[in-house]
Amino acid sequence: MAVAVSKSKIRADWRLRLRESPWMNTKFILGSTIILLTILFGLLGPLFWDVELAYTASTPLNKPPMWIKGGMPEYPLGTESNGRDMLAQLIVGIPASLKVGLLAASIGMAIGILLGSTAGYLGGWWDHVIRTITDSWMTIPSMMVLISVATYVRMPDTTAMALILALFAWPGPTRLIRSQVLTLRERGYVRMALLSNVPPLEIMLVEMVPNMLPWLAASLTGGISGAILGATGLEALGLGPTRVPSLGMIINYALRSSALVRGMIHWWLPPILVLIIIFTGFFLMTVGLDEIANPRLRGTSNGR
């Protein structure tokens, strides 16, 4: 009997801790679910659909969705003027766009951690130089520079595009991390590490960075959204890699073929809707992570 009561008490305590955990944030959970389902659609789609139909001349031309007269069940979302299946393009395009955003934002975050930690912890002329370069870089009109670079740089795949986008993905994380490090370096555990002659690099990366994980995660999700938006803009202008179907390239092909004028809503609307879903998911994740990292925001969101 005592064992049963003990187990019941443990389960009740576990449920209470789970409910009170800051990670049980509604916005974060909802956003994560949206992004997870989107990723699963792209990853598991090839198991159920022939993604070779995403390439030129693999299907009949200009077929409407199957629920419209003239549509075919073999192509449920229809086809376009180049003989590509719309469903197959979405299945291939979602991972490609997410890969660009994740790679560009991760590179920017890595640079931001290194520069921001150095500026905030070491201070002095290190802080002055890094802060000046970061602030100056943020004043540059990024989209104009990206268009100019993409015009002259050959991009055979999405990795090359991600590297170009990473040029403007690091200033935001750098400023965020610098401000956090300026606060954390006054904490007791940092001072104890300093008194123990721990090397500065180890203090920055081992002692400080783990305590900034919620802020870093929020910055990363925001950076992924920005990189996907930048990549989509370049691809819609025809400056992206043409060999790999992506959401931006679908929009580009639709624009070049006057799909809007021709009333081919099934061509240009699906990638836009998918992008809206992706941006909504990352936005909710970013807001949720901000609330997790900042108890004041948590209290406001709960109406306190």
Question: What's the pTM?
Answer: 0.85
HSE value, Cβ hemisphere, 13 Å, CA-based, for 74: 8
> Is pLDDT of 277 > 90?
yes
All structural domains of the chain, each given as residue ranges with its CATH number in brackets, are 25-301 (1.10.3720.10)
Neighbours of 10 (CB within 10 A): 10
- The pLDDT of residue 76 is 93
Give 197-207 pLDDT, tens digit per residue.
888 888 887 88
Core vs surface per residue 171-183: b (16+ CB within 10 A) or e = bbbbbbbbebbee
Cα separation values, 200 from 50, 121, 182, 189, 193, Å: 53, 8, 14, 13, 9
For all residues of the chain together, what is the average pLDDT?
84
- The pLDDT of residue 304 is 41
Name the helix (H) or strand (E) containing 35: helix 26-48
Percent of the chain with pLDDT over 70: 89
Pairwise pLDDT comparison (180 vs 22), residue with the higher score: 180
Task: Give the model's confidence band at 272: pLDDT under 50 very low, under 70 low, under 90 confident, else very high.
Answer: very high
| 3-state class (DSSP) for residue 70 | coil
Whole-angstrom distance, CA of residue 247 vs CA of residue 274: 8
Question: Which residues, in sequence order, are CB contacts of 190 under 8 Å at separation 6+?
Answer: 184, 203, 207, 208
> Is pLDDT of 243 > 70?
yes
What is the 3-class SS of 183-210, one letter each residue?
A: HHCCCHHHHHHHHCCCCHHHHHHHHHHH
Whole-angstrom distance, CA of residue 65 vs CA of residue 77: 4
- The pLDDT of residue 259 is 87
